[in-house]
Amino acid sequence: MVRRALTEEESIKIGTPKESGHSFRDIGQRLGRSISVISRAYTRYQETNSYRRRPGQGRPRCTTPREDRALVRAAVQDRWMTAPQLAARHQNVTGRTISSETVRIILKRAGLRNRRPARGPALTQQQRRNRLAFARNHRGWNRRGWGRVLFSDECRFKLRRCDGRVRVWRRSNERYRQDCIQHRVPFGGGSVMMWAGITRDNRTALVHIPPPGMNAERYITEVVEPYVIPFFEQGAENLIFQQDNARPHVARQTLDFLHAAGITLLDWPANSPDLNPIEHLWDELARRVNEREVVPTTLQQLRVALLEEWDNIPQRTISTLIDSMRNRCALVIEANGGVTRY
């Protein structure tokens, strides 16, 4: 509950009933205040013969309103400055020392709180322009238009993830208790790479890409030939293939093969994972695997779990993600080609 001082009107309402014989409890219930507040206010009236608060009550402010605005302005201009840095800046400008906690209180009053930053790709100016042009060119596409696109991507799943979102129940003095420590394993204990494609009404199989890493030749022989081309042959007409700008995807060998196979490519802007709805599907797949009763402990178990959970994802979930493409394009336009919340 926020503590606030009695107003002069409330103080006047205390004196008269008290003179009439009412108790502090009765007056407090009537004004919605505690007995101690009513008692102190009445005692002050008896001592000073005034309902006004004594001058100088409370701790004096160490900053002026103008200095508060300067601190807020500095924090907004450089969002990455810490509270100690802002306190040091204030001392250099005014010659007076304030604590870091004072800075935090001032910023909190202005609606600024210290939060973890959102993560997004580092975009060049050219990439921002390309993203903006793509969003403007496709903002008019409806569900039917986006339903013709086969969105594809690869994703690497680690056996053990330390993403900072894991929580443990412990007391304040149990931080280093052995059963409260998350043990880190080098390289996440190993990983598997998977590829998949989705449309609004269908999906490809989840494909395991064994090591070593992907190159153009492997991409053609292990993904495009056995999965992409049959999907286009069995799917609806006028399908469009979306792939990101990874080197195996945009290699001349790959592009020539796709062109010869008669597959139309969607001109995809580089560094745009927030535009690809399959990125959210990878998160859904990882969440389902982590929530299994028996969590995978080997890479073989992880592969089997991924394949099983991939088939368990409802098609409605995929359709909802693809239906968000119009909103994704609108947010890119709003951000002038910058990173969006997706």
Distance CA 207, CA 205 (A): 6
Q: Say if 120 falls within a structural domain.
A: no
Report yes or no: 289 and 302 within 8 Å, Cβ to Cβ.
yes
What residues contact 240, with CB distance under 8 A and at least 6 apart?
148, 149, 150, 264, 265, 266
pLDDT in tens, 6-33: 666 776 666 665 555 677 787 778 777 7
- Does residue 43 lie in a domain region? yes
Looking at 106-120, 137-151, 218-232, which range is the least confident one? 106-120
Is 82 in the same domain as 155? no
Q: What percent of the chain has pLDDT over 70?
A: 88
Q: Are residues 177 and 212 in the same domain?
A: yes
Q: What's the mean pLDDT in 187-211? A: 89
Closest CA relative to residue 149, chosen from 307, 336, 324: 324
Same domain as 25, residue 153: no
Q: Residues 18, 100: one domain? A: no
Report the alpha-carbon distance of residue 278 to residue 241 in Å, rounded. Answer: 13
Asked if 194 and 206 count as a contact pair (C-beta separation under 8 A), the reply is: yes
Whether 55 is in a domain gets the answer no
Query: Of the ranges 55-69, 220-234, 251-265, 316-330, which one carries the lowest mean pLDDT score?
Result: 55-69
Number of domains present in the structure of the chain:
3
**105 plus 134 within the same structural domain:** no
- Phi and psi at residue 261, in whole multiples of 5°? -80, -5
In the structure, what pLDDT confidence band is assigned to residue 224 with cuts at 50, 70 and 90?
A: very high
Longest Cα–Cα distance in the chain? 100
Give the C-alpha separation, 12 to 18, whole Å: 10
Looking at the fold, whether 318 and 231 belong to one and the same domain comes out as: yes
Q: Which of 32-36, 78-82, 98-102, 315-319 has the lowest mean pLDDT?
A: 32-36
Domain residues for 104? 65-109
The C-alpha atoms of residue 188 and residue 339 are separated, in whole angstroms, by: 28
Question: Is the residue at 115 inside a domain?
Answer: no
Instruction: Render pLDDT for 144-169 as a digit per residue (tens, 0 to 9).
Output: 999 999 999 999 998 876 656 677 88
Lowest average pLDDT, out of 71-80, 85-94, 227-236, goes to 227-236
Torsion angle (degrees, nearest 10) of CA 172, 178, 181, 186: 160
Same domain, 156 and 289: yes
Residues 28 and 147 reside in one and the same domain: no
Residues 212 and 102 reside in one and the same domain: no
Q: How far apart are CA 210 and CA 222, in angstroms?
A: 10
> Domain for residue 148, yes or no?
yes
* Model pTM score: 0.73
